């Protein structure tokens, strides 16, 4: 009897292992899905931009390319996102008849209302970033930080982290570690917290 | 399954990302205010919070001012700024601003419209007129300079009142004295940057003397260039601590030391040759100043400074290439004793540094307000000014003395602009009682300061960051300037230019017939006054004023009897009853003016000055031992004028038998950051009017300390 029982147990063990393995894999797979698919979907809120902006078209047509709208002021400050007056300088009336242009003139230029752009690269309030130091002095191209946005034909949706309020673009390529890595690689001594004792206050005012 | 879930979880970004985001989330609480993002712009102006006239740069996000810094390319401060200047945004947005015209009804202030406020003032003025009492109108102004002050004075003249009483600055006192002394009115401009031996007679050079940032930069320059600074002061101040040599002197005897050095220098061949090179009129007066000065031995007895040290100071001073003696200033550049001022001027003269590089330059004030004289028939029915209630040398202290002496106030309406007499005049409790006797007190203050609280009607001015203001800057500069502050913030509240309030009152009083005030607005008045300089001033913020030549051969008579009064600054308290002497201390961290100290500055005040709400005084350990007191003890500080509870701090840098107290504390206004914190030093002082300038020169008072 005892022998039979022992034999029976020996035969059942592989089944139990299989069950445990199945449960393990199920849990493993579920959490992978949750972690990689559901969590990001829940974490980021997708918002369309108020207008779809065609960078590729504008950089071809505008006299001074990127600098026509994103320029340095006389005192070295960067203009950033252009205001409605910059748009008005070219768009006095509908020329292409496109939806975005019509909307631009009707809803914003005619009413002199600023376009509520969602800024992909907006840094947190605690950060001071100098475009002049990076573009003029270090001669970095826009795409180093902003990617190939200059070649985009439509405006992507803005993805906002619902916990932090930061944009996904900023989180993925413009966090403090990204700054620090670049500064270390390029040996910018004295220009970041990682390389200089008093470096905190260069970026954090 | 749980094991698998855990394993799966570790291979996803979820836990790490969640941890990171939670940490960021905790840094972004929704209730923490975050300024709105917007377009950054910068705007230059000049700071008018003290007479220094530094350039400032305001940063705005869209229309909102967020920061004030020193203007980088300004010739005076080159990017430097003091804590008060840095507090610009706090002074702009403070809830302590008077946000609309206010009228006191049954002891409580109520907001009223501008029309109602001006009508109230006009009806009271008409009443005075009907009673044939135009001299019942008086005005206390923060200074006698600038167009607002000139408009106020013009308004009083047009009304028929002589009672315009500006708070005199040390520059005004210098003009008066030098006019009498040399026949030509001038203000000293100190060539600090090029001097190589500097004798500072009690000047708080690192705590706001002259144009504060310019002076601090000069002090740094002296260290770099090897110039020698000798600080002559009764206590170990910050300036004394950083000087090359500190000479501890008996309080109030700086003039005696200066005169003793003068006499010693004048006896040398070099001194003689310097004196003989001076213009004849000035030379005659100079000799009359020096002659009654003490000998070395007498000076040792008076000042407590060894005769050999005085001799050495004289030798070093006259033997140096570019010597310069500096005269003390009172709080907010108020005058000090004329005896001390003249002694320091004489010392510079015998050292041969007048109008020389590194020396004392004679600067003549350049008038730029050239309005036509008021004619008697310009304003229908007006009287004509007679004698000022505050006497021939008017001062706010003399004014309140007159008010106190009369059973009924001879003044029916008092206008108060840009000053806070209920706080900063000596014996301020008496001032408050005096102001309470005046039927209508009208304040133009932009802040709820002590005098505004004591007023019946408030017509609030714009903040200094919201307005145009012409601002002549002398402040010991060798190149005086006319500055123009420009609005760097939009107007936040229902306030008006004081100039506009005056013009509107004049219009309502005299209608269009008021030819004395032809301007529609204050900005128009300012623009017309500055005429062809307006564009330069609006663009750059300042222009250099011309330096007219000085001639000094027509000296008037000056009474030298005052020079024998060695203890001019000591008030009447009996020495045996009040064995100690109070010395007041100014600090860059504490502001004594009508604007008050900002919350930001209060955070930087040391606990040896203010401990919680308790005012701290410095006492020498020997004195404390004699009084059986020790560090941290509470005591009653009693003067013939008032008493206050203070905390004792033992300090070896304080002379025995003296008590050092900070100015700028002990307010009864300005909200939680200032109200009731520390002791108002002015409350304890008694006014002492200088016989030559008529201004209060009281910085010390006798006192005693009693255990609580």
The ranges of chain A with pLDDT < 70 are 1-13, 189-198
CB contact under 8 A, A36 and B5: no
Distance between CA B167 and CA A6 in Å, rounded?
A: 110
pLDDT on residue B278: 82
Q: Report whether pLDDT(B377) > 70.
A: no
Q: What is this model's ipTM?
A: 0.82
Q: What's the half-sphere exposure (Cβ side, CA atoms, 13 Å) at B671?
A: 16
Cα of A46 to nearest chain B Cα, Å: 18
Burial of A59 (0-12, 13-18, 19+ CB in 10 A): middle
The DSSP bridge partners found for residue B136 are none
At residue B380 the predicted structure's pLDDT band, cuts being 50, 70 and 90, is very low
CB contact under 8 A, B28 and A31: no
Burial of A185 (0-12, 13-18, 19+ CB in 10 A): exposed
Distance between CA A166 and CA B17 in Å, rounded?
A: 13
At residue B565 the predicted structure's pLDDT band, cuts being 50, 70 and 90, is very low
pLDDT on residue A194: 59
Instruction: Give the relative orientation of helices B296-303 and B307-319 as an angle to the nearest 10 degrees.
Output: 110
Distance between CA B498 and CA B442 in Å, rounded?
A: 11
Cα of A177 to nearest chain B Cα, Å: 13
For residue B26, the chain A residues in CB contact (below 8 A) are none
pLDDT on residue B627: 95
CB contact under 8 A, A35 and B28: no
Q: What's the start-to-end Cα distance of chain A, in Å?
A: 81
- Please list, in sequence order, all residues whose beta carbon lies within 8 angstroms of the beta carbon of residue B616, skipping any fewer than 6 positions away: B607, B608, B609, B610, B646, B647, B648, B649, B678
Positive/negative CA dihedral, A25, A30, A36, A37: positive
Cα of A1 to nearest chain B Cα, Å: 34
Distance between CA A96 and CA A102 in Å, rounded?
A: 9
Q: What's the half-sphere exposure (Cβ side, CA atoms, 13 Å) at B235?
A: 24
Q: Report whether pLDDT(B210) > 70.
A: yes
Residues B345-371 have a mean pLDDT of 93
Tell me: the pLDDT tens digits for B523-539? 999 999 999 899 999 99
- The total number of residues shown for chain A amounts to 205
At residue B569 the predicted structure's pLDDT band, cuts being 50, 70 and 90, is very low
CB contact under 8 A, A26 and B17: no
Least confident of B5-14, B187-196, B370-379, B389-398: B370-379
Cα of B613 to nearest chain A Cα, Å: 31
Interface probe, candidates A25, A29, A30, A32, chain B, greatest B C-beta count within 10 A: A32
For residue B14, the chain A residues in CB contact (below 8 A) are 31, 34-35, 39
Tell me: the pLDDT tens digits for B634-646? 999 999 999 999 9
CB contact under 8 A, B13 and A39: yes
Distance between CA A141 and CA B383 in Å, rounded?
A: 76
pLDDT on residue B513: 53
CB contact under 8 A, A32 and B34: no
Token pair belonging to A132: 């002049």
Least confident of B303-307, B398-402, B456-460, B569-573: B569-573
Token pair belonging to B193: 């940057």
pTM (global) more than 0.90: no
Q: Report whether pLDDT(B512) > 90.
A: no
For residue A75, the chain B residues in CB contact (below 8 A) are 42
For residue A124, the chain B residues in CB contact (below 8 A) are 28
Question: Taking all residues of chain B, what is their mean pLDDT, rounded to a whole number?
Answer: 91
Max Cα separation, chain B?
109
SS3 B204: coil
SS3 B537: helix
B602: closest CA among B613, B593, B594? B613
Interface probe, candidates B2, B12, B26, B33, chain A, greatest A C-beta count within 10 A: B12
Tell me: the pLDDT tens digits for B226-256? 999 999 999 999 999 999 999 999 998 999 9
8 A C-beta contact, residue B139 and residue B417: yes
pLDDT on residue B422: 96
| A/B interface, count of CB pairs below 8 Å | 73
Identify the contact set of chain B against chain A, taking CB-CB distances under 8 A.
1-9, 11-14, 17-18, 21-22, 24-25, 27-28, 34-35, 37, 39-40, 42
CB contact under 8 A, B4 and A164: no
CB contact under 8 A, A164 and B21: yes
pLDDT on residue A98: 82
pLDDT on residue B514: 63
Q: Report whether pLDDT(B554) > 60.
A: no
């Amino acid at each position: 009897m005892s022998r039979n029982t022992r034999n029976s147990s020996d035969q059942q063990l592989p089944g139990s292992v299989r069950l445990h393995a199945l449960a393990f894999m199920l849990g493993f797979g579920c959490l992978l899905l949750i972690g990689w698919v559901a969590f990001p979907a829940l974490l980021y809120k997708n918002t369309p931009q108020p207008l779809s902006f065609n960078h590729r078209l504008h950089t071809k047509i505008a006299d001074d390319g990127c600098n026509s709208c994103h320029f340095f002021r006389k005192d070295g400050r960067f203009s950033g996102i252009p205001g409605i007056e910059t748009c008005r300088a070219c768009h006095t009336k509908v020329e292409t008849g496109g939806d975005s242009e019509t909307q631009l003139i009707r809803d914003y230029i005619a009413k002199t209302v600023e376009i509520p752009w969602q800024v992909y690269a907006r840094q947190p309030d605690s950060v001071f970033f100098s475009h002049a130091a990076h573009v003029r002095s270090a001669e970095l191209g826009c795409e180093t930080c902003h990617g190939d946005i200059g070649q985009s034909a439509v405006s992507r949706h803005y993805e906002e982290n619902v916990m932090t309020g930061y944009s996904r673009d900023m989180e993925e390529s413009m966090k403090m570690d990204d700054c620090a890595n670049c500064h270390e690689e390029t040996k910018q001594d004295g220009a970041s917290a990682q390389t200089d004792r008093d470096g905190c206050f260069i970026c954090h005012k | 399954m749980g094991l698998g879930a855990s394993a799966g979880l570790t291979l996803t970004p979820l836990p790490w990302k969640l941890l990171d985001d939670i940490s960021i989330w905790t840094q972004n609480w929704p209730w923490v205010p975050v300024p709105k993002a917007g377009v950054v712009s910068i705007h230059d102006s000049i700071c008018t919070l003290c007479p220094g006239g530094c350039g400032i740069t305001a940063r705005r996000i869209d229309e909102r001012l967020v920061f004030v810094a020193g203007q980088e390319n300004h010739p005076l401060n080159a990017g430097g700024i003091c804590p008060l200047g840095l507090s610009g945004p706090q002074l702009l947005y403070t809830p302590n601003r008077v946000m609309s015209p206010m009228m006191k009804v049954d002891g409580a202030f109520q907001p009223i419209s501008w029309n109602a406020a001006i009508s109230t003032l006009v009806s009271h003025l008409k009443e005075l007129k009907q009673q044939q009492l135009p001299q019942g109108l008086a005005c206390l102004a923060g200074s006698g300079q600038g167009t607002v002050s000139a408009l106020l004075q013009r308004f009083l003249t047009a009304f028929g009142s002589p009672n315009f009483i500006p708070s005199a600055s040390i520059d005004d006192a210098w003009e008066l004295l030098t006019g009498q002394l040399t026949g030509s009115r001038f203000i000293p401009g100190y060539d600090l940057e090029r001097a190589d031996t500097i004798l500072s007679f009690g000047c708080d050079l690192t705590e706001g003397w002259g144009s504060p940032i310019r002076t601090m930069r000069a002090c740094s320059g002296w260290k770099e260039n090897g110039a020698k600074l000798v600080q002559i002061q009764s206590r170990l101040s910050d300036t004394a601590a950083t000087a090359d040599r500190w000479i501890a002197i008996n309080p109030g005897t700086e003039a005696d030391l200066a005169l003793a050095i003068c006499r010693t220098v004048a006896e040398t061949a070099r001194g003689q040759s310097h004196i003989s090179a001076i213009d004849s009129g000035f030379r005659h007066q100079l000799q009359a100043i020096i002659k009654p000065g003490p000998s070395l031995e007498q000076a040792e007895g008076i000042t407590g400074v060894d005769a050999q040290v005085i001799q050495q100071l004289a030798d070093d001073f006259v033997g140096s290439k570019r010597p310069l003696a500096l005269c003390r200033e009172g709080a907010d550049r108020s005058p000090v004793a004329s005896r001390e001022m003249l002694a320091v001027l004489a010392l510079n003269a015998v050292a041969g540094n007048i109008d020389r590089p590194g020396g004392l330059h004679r600067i003549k004030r350049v008038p730029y307000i050239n309005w036509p004289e008021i004619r008697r028939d310009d304003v229908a029915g007006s009287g004509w000014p007679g004698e000022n209630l505050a006497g021939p040398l008017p001062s706010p202290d003399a004014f309140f003395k007159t008010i106190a002496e009369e059973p009924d106030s001879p003044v029916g309406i008092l206008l108060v602009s840009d000053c806070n007499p209920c706080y900063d005049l000596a014996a301020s409790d008496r001032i408050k009682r005096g102001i309470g006797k005046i039927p209508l007190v009208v304040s133009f203050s932009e802040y709820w300061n002590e005098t505004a609280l004591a007023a019946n009607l408030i017509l609030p001015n714009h903040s200094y960051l919201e307005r145009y203001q012409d601002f002549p800057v002398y402040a010991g500069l060798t190149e005086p300037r006319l500055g123009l502050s420009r609005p760097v913030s939009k107007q936040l509240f229902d306030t008006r230019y004081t100039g506009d309030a005056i013009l509107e009152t004049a219009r309502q009083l005299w209608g269009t017939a008021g030819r004395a005030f032809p301007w529609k607005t204050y900005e128009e008045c300012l623009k017309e006054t500055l005429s062809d300089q307006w564009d330069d001033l609006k663009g750059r913020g300042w222009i250099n004023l011309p330096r007219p030549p000085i001639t000094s051969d027509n000296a008037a008579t000056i009474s030298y009897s005052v020079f024998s009064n060695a203890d001019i600054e000591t008030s009447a308290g009996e020495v045996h009853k009040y064995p100690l002497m109070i010395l007041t201390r100014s600090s860059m961290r504490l502001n004594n003016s009508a604007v008050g100290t900002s919350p930001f500055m209060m955070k930087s005040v040391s606990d040896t000055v203010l401990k919680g709400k308790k005012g701290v005084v410095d006492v020498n350990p020997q004195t404390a031992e004699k009084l059986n007191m020790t560090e941290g003890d509470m005591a009653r500080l009693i003067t013939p004028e008032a008493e206050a509870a203070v905390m004792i701090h033992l300090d070896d840098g304080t002379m025995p038998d003296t008590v050092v107290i900070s100015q700028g504390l002990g307010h009864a206004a300005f909200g939680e950051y200032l109200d009731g914190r520390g002791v108002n030093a002015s409350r304890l002082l008694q006014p002492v009017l200088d016989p030559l300038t008529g201004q209060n020169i009281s910085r010390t008072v006798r006192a005693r300390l009693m255990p609580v």
